[in-house]
């Protein structure tokens, strides 16, 4: 579904391809389906955002931000938050 006419994202958009070695949601869905997990690109995006909401919950608590589904969703979609999580995961993988 396209964005409504006149919609403007507050902090831009993030895609999984933005990060080094990342894949787009369609590529992820095709790989998951090939591996036996039936999935389309929308489901891949929903799973990704669900994981980010789980990461955002303790971050909200640590910073005194109200923990509501709307605030968690907003944080999960924020490209700055996604970039921060990607950077942390990358640094953890370099240590191995």
Summarize pLDDT for 10-53 with one digit per residue, the tens.
Answer: 766 565 555 556 788 899 999 999 999 999 999 999 999 999 99
Best mean pLDDT range from 7-16, 23-32, 52-61, 86-95? 52-61
pLDDT for 71-84, tens place per residue? 999 999 998 999 89
Q: Are 48 and 25 in contact (CB under 8 A)?
A: yes
pLDDT of residue 3: 52
The predicted structure's pLDDT at residue 15: 57
Helix, strand, coil percentages in the chain from 3-state DSSP, rounded to 5: 60, 0, 40
- Model pTM score: 0.76
């Amino acid at each position: 579904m396209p964005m409504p006419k006149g919609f403007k994202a507050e902090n831009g958009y993030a895609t999984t391809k933005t990060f080094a070695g990342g894949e787009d949601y369609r590529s992820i869905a095709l790989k998951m389906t090939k591996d036996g997990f039936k999935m389309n690109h929308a489901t891949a995006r929903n799973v990704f955002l669900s994981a980010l909401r789980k990461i955002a919950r303790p971050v909200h608590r640590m910073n005194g931000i109200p923990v509501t589904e709307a605030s968690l969703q907003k944080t999960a979609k924020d490209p700055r938050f996604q970039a921060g999580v990607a950077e942390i995961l990358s640094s953890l993988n370099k240590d191995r």
